[in-house]
Amino acid sequence: MRFMSFVTSAHAGPPTAELIEAMNKLADREIKAGRMVDMGGLTPVAMGAQVRIADGKLSVIDGPFVEAKEVIGGYAIMEFRNKEEAVASAVEFMQLHKDFMPDWEGTCEVRAFAGP
């Protein structure tokens, strides 16, 4: 089954060099094992845009977005046998954050792709 994990946080700064190194080691392992399909970190919201429909009108809003309390910092697309394996992978990934950025707070959401 294919899963997407994405990390959200109110933390504004970039990850530490130590966390990046640990994440790269984990990614290398998962790529070699054939489980990682794609992954990446995202640029700050100030560099992004939103396309919205509200009150029947379509609009484009350049970042930063005032109402953003938490933002998506990165994602991973992985192949696992089941949800339990996907969640275990997310726990391992979040443990890296706890180990290398102890004051960081955030969430990793894990969701299966719909369909085959």
Q: What domains are defined for the chain?
A: 2-112 (3.30.70.1060)
How far apart are alpha carbons 61 and 65 in whole angstroms?
8
Q: What's the whole-number average pLDDT of the chain?
A: 93
DSSP assignment of 73-113: EEEEEEE-SSHHHHHHHHHHHHHHHHHH-TT---EEEEEEP
pLDDT in tens, 60-102: 988 777 666 788 999 999 999 999 999 999 999 999 999 999 9
pLDDT above 90 for 44: no
pLDDT above 70 for 14: yes
Asked whether the whole model's pTM tops 0.75, one would answer yes
